[in-house]
Structure 1
Amino acid sequence: MEKSDLLQQLRIDRSEPAPRVRGGGAWVAGALVALLVAGLAGGGWWWLRGAKAVEVELATAQAPTAGGSGPLAVLQATGYVTARRQATVSAQITGTLTDVLIEEGEHVDQGQVLAHLENTAQKAQLAQAEAGYKAAQAQLAQIAAQLAQSRRDVARAEELVGRKLVSKQAVELARTQVEAQSAQLESQRRQVEVAHAGVAGAQVQLDYCTVRAPFAGVIIAKAAQPGEIVSPLSAGGGFTRTGVGTIVDMDSLEVEVDVNESYINRVVAKQGTEAILDAYPDWKIPGHVIAIIPTADRGKATVKVRVALDQKDARIVPDMGVRVSFLEAASKEAQAAPVVPKGALVPAASIVQRDGKSVVFAFEGDRARLRSVTPGQAYADLRLVEGIVAGTRVVRDPPAELVDGARIAARAVSK
């Protein structure tokens, strides 16, 4: 066949009219276009949603050791750090402050001067008492000298009466004078003691004008300034201070927690504890139970428990929030033949509920994979679970919108 014949066959015959599309066909075509646009829009939205990764914090599941991670936590409770030895220091008398020698955060020793009060009147009273004491002593010396002379006179009179040179009446008068002066001397001695006590009392009143630290500690509050009036009693309305400052003995810090009365049977005296401060969540402080206060709060249905901190540190300050785990020591049989628990330890916060089941979200590639787990024993802030192996990276505190297969990005990794 010639080339020209082939081209002729490929040529379109425009002599016949093109078929028209009726109204129904146009509607079908419009619907197809709308579906196509909607599909493209939905696919774009789905692509954008899948492309955006959710930022999460990850943690690594740990392998439990023999006997678990030490003693088991049988109970957890929250409370606050308190000071067993704390005092708001005030003056013994009402007076005006002349100077205040403390500032917040300053360490003071026992007996250290904290403030002074106006003491002009007290100094005058002390000077008056000392003068009275000296006068009483001088009077005592005078009476003692007179008594000595009277005794010599009696001795001479007794010698002369033997020689009939004086009468017996004169001797008796001399003896009476000696007895009277002896009684006067004893009375003056008591007056000297009274004057001495007056000096001591005036000295005490003067010492009250100096405010001293009752024990060593740290100043946590400065309550008054020079020129203000302080009083041990609440008087004078808002113009009178009842304290100069507050001192805390940092060595007496302990923890007070409220334990639900339904679980107080799990707590005993001297029981081991582990405290975690809200300010330092990665710092575990060992301790032990001091005492269980033998009364319940009927409003909160709790019992107060005092817990001692076995480690002292400057970072621990009063009124800090703290979470305490009460530990149960392992039995002697378990210590002799320790058994490694099955499963892995994950943060308790990584375990969430989905469709009534306990699950965790494992980090695989860049996706979150839902894994069903069986929670077991709690170890402080960790939880033993079965269903994943040690080394698996899990999402800590999974958000409610996180689903299986969602893209995630690690914000931070912690052990």
Structure 2
Amino acid sequence: MMMERLKRWRWALLATAIMLAGLLYAMWPEAVAVDTAKVSRGAMTVGITDDGVTRAEEFYIVSAPVTGYLSRIELEPGDKVAPGTLITRMTGRPSSPLDQRTRAEMRGALAAAQAAEGGASAALAQSRRDLARAEAIFERGFLPRAQLEAARTRVAADRSAQAQARAEIARLNAMLADPSGLGSGAAVGVRAPSGGEVLAVLNESEGVITEGTPLVTLGNPDSIEVVVDLLSREAVRVEPGMRVEISQWGGPDPLIGKVERIEPFGRQRISALGIEEQRVNVIIGFEEGSAAQGVRLGHGYQIDATIALWQAEDALRLPIGALFRGPDGGWQVFAVENGRARATTVTLGRMNDEYAQVLGGIAADAEIILNPGNTIEDGTRVAPRE
């Protein structure tokens, strides 16, 4: 009886089973298509990137030595000059002779300058003796470094005061010796203090100019260094000798340099957003031959520089696009295991714009999901997107 009933209903049961299988298949969740990547080993660098400018390692701004009439400067930017090359000529403008009262005032100022020079010399001698005692006490370990640096600063200040007083004495002596200046209209030649090229002509046209007016800038464009002004809190992490990649200079491949020095003096700058910032100049030199093979960088060219604070040639790393914060606030990734996403906690070290260094939690060559969306959870069926 049972066999007969089964035979009678076998087609109905088969149809029902097919319908249930189709319904189950239709309601079964599809695998989510995801982008994947591998945990790999390779070179990794963590650094500071900022823009900077190139400049000649040694350049000179030639200024007008006297007040007078400037002849037109015929030199053009790019012209080569040798030391002592005549740049232009100036004719001194006649000045009115000094009257008796002015000369008396100048003699009084000269006497005051001489007295100031004597006081500055005595102060310098005393500060030098104080510095010698401070250095001796410091070597025995009984004096803080701050007091030693203060003693050195006093010596520098007294030396500057002495030099200033002597310069004032020389100026007043010169004016008393020739009270009419260049009243004869004598021509004064302006010559190049060093060899190189004309980088810029700052005052080309002829006319009357005052003493100290910049005329031309001279330098050697083949001897170039880079100046990058970093935030002071970033500059303290930089050390001389660090490797630097110079990019965005106009060529396809980066140029390699190294940090030569970090200037000890910070300057206040106003950012594009109007924020006051303390900036420090970091001087970068090119490595031998890196800037000489068909590369032409002049004075004042804009570049981007990346200073390598840390680098490794064989770091275990993963793309930072795979990272997300777990429930406990730690870093996690979704590893792909047997077609399913598995939330995996990872321990990270250094990070840059592309990779994070892996210290633990996942092995090399593990497949992970990039940029996981909200539809991905632990255990979700996934399939790599083709």
Report the TM-score range of the alignment, normalised by the length of the smaller protein: 0.3 to 0.5
- Structure whose residues are more often helix by fraction: 1
Scaled by the length of structure 1, the TM-score of the pair is: 0.40
